[in-house]
Amino acid sequence: MKPHGLSSTFLNEKIVTMDNSNTENYGKCPGNPVRLNSIPASRLFLNNLVTTDGDYIIYHRKGSVMENSEIIDHYEIFTTAKQYDDIYISIYNRRNSWVPPAGYLFEDGILCPDLTEDDDDMAEIIESVLQGIDKKYFYEDQRNIEDFMLSIAEGDELNSFIECSAGVNFELKNFPVSYFKSYLHTFTFLSDEKQFEMLKKIPKREKGNLTN
């Protein structure tokens, strides 16, 4: 689902990268959310996240919770390593904190496709934002391509169809199966039987987060 563009507040505010990386549970609980200033900012934030191992994420917004009279958005995360997590974001702030939670980094050089595919000016603006982020928060790809191809050969085919982190800003029932079911339908060469086989390998969520 494509946002209706970035807010003027998002465009006009200076980049602020507050280093909260040592703060307990930063981004992992409603009481200490990632602080951004708009829905498009949260989409940009999430669409550029990867795990510290370089795995892409799929997300949906499970809903919102009240914390100290503040509305906090709750995003459920599923990684291409088949792990679940939660990230909490407050979007009612004057400025943005471009700091990923523990266990995550930003993917270097990749922009949010939903926000840039039809707007070159927007791509330049977002590029300037990413250039203002501390380099220590970017993932450097050190994955072994042979190991990656072996994982696909051994049946981890879902990885081969995910080219970037992505998600939706509303709740999906039966997440992440419902997301992948819709996504895999875009690959016309995949039979219904093959899609069913791939979806069947997605584990159900157990209690706990990625970083526990």
Helix (H, G, I), strand (E, B) or coil at 110: coil
Question: What is the reported pLDDT for 4?
Answer: 33
Residue 176: asked if its preceding bond is cis (omega within 30°), the reply is yes
Question: What is the reported pLDDT for 169?
Answer: 95
The single-letter code of the amino acid at 138 is F
The single-letter code of the amino acid at 27 is G
Which two three-digit tokens encode residue 55? 């795995």
Helix (H, G, I), strand (E, B) or coil at 161: helix
* Whole-number Cα distances in Å, 153 to 22, 79, 150, 158, 198: 39, 19, 5, 11, 13
Summarize pLDDT for 44-102 with one digit per residue, the tens. 899 999 999 989 999 999 999 999 999 999 999 999 889 999 999 999 998 888 899 99
As a whole number, mean pLDDT of residues 180-199 equals 89
pLDDT band with cut points at 50, 70 and 90 for residue 3: very low
Domain range summary for the chain, segments of one domain joined by +:
8-139, 145-164+174-200
The pTM of the whole model exceeds 0.85: no
Q: Is the pLDDT of residue 155 over 80?
A: no
Helix (H, G, I), strand (E, B) or coil at 51: strand
* Whole-number Cα distances in Å, 57 to 4, 10, 46, 165, 196: 22, 23, 8, 5, 21
CA distance 142 to 63: 35
CA distance 35 to 42: 9
The alpha carbons of the chain give a radius of gyration, in whole angstroms, of 17
Of 34-43, 53-62, 113-122, 149-158, where does the model show the most confidence? 53-62
The overall average pLDDT reported for the chain is 79
**Helix extents (H) in 107-176:** 113-116, 120-131, 145-153
139 in Cβ contact with 108 (< 8 Å) = yes
As a whole number, mean pLDDT of residues 177-185 equals 93
Question: What is the reported pLDDT for 11?
Answer: 42
Q: Is the pLDDT of residue 105 over 60?
A: yes
pLDDT band with cut points at 50, 70 and 90 for residue 173: very high
Q: Is the pLDDT of residue 153 over 70?
A: no
Summarize pLDDT for 118-150 with one digit per residue, the tens. 555 556 666 666 667 888 898 987 666 666 555
pLDDT band with cut points at 50, 70 and 90 for residue 115: low
Helix (H, G, I), strand (E, B) or coil at 22: coil
Lowest mean pLDDT among 10-14, 172-176, 206-210: 10-14
Of 18-27, 80-89, 155-164, 182-191, where does the model show the most confidence? 80-89
